[in-house]
Amino acid sequence: MSQVFSEETHRNLLARIPHCTGREVADWLRTVEEGPALRFEEKVSWLRHEYDLAYGHAKAIIHEYDLRRAARRF
């Protein structure tokens, strides 16, 4: 079962990603865009295993990707 993060937790995780991974969030979003077409949790697992990310960081990246993708549809 996946964790549900508050908006504040999500923003805090995003803010820490560059420090913890050495890559900006925009770089990670491009990586997801270019990666395999998978379901949410599968994308999280893919990021974790392919790039050795922590669960929270991987989930925050995928969640942010989905939020931005949804915003583009309007």
Residue by residue, what is the 3-state secondary structure of the chain? CCCCCCHHHHHHHHHHHHHHHCCCHHHHHHHHHHCCCCCHHHHHHHHHHHHCCCHHHHHHHHHHHHHHHHHHHC
Per residue of the chain (74 residues), what is the pLDDT tens digit? 456 789 999 999 999 999 999 999 999 999 999 999 999 999 999 999 999 999 999 999 999 999 999 998 76
Reported as half-sphere exposure (CB side, CA atoms, 13 A), residue 21 has a value of 24
The pTM is what?
0.90
Tokens of 62: 């995928």
- The two most distant CA atoms of the chain are separated, in Å, by 34
